[in-house]
Amino acid sequence: MEIKQSEINTFNRVGIPYEELLKDTLPRTVSNRFSGETCETSALVAYLVDWVYQTSNAYEMGSNKVRLDDFDRVRYFILHVDQNVYSTCID
Q: How many domains does the chain have?
A: 1
pLDDT score recorded for residue 1? 79
pLDDT score recorded for residue 48? 98
Residue 11: exposed, middle, or buried by beta-carbon count in 10 A (0-12, 13-18, 19+)?
buried
Asked if 16 and 74 touch (Cβ cutoff 8 Å), the reply is: yes
Asked if 48 and 16 touch (Cβ cutoff 8 Å), the reply is: yes
Residue 4: exposed, middle, or buried by beta-carbon count in 10 A (0-12, 13-18, 19+)?
exposed
48, 81, 3, 49: CA torsion to nearest 10 = 0
Mean pLDDT of 39-46: 98
In 18-39, which positions are buried (b, 16+ CB within 10 angstroms) versus exposed (e)?
Answer: beebeeeeeebebebeeeeeeb
For residue 81, pLDDT beyond 90: yes
- In percent, the amount of the chain with pLDDT more than 70 equals 100
For residue 64, pLDDT beyond 90: no
* Domain ranges, residue 24: 5-90
For residue 2, pLDDT beyond 90: no
Mean pLDDT of 24-43: 97
pTM for this predicted structure: 0.95
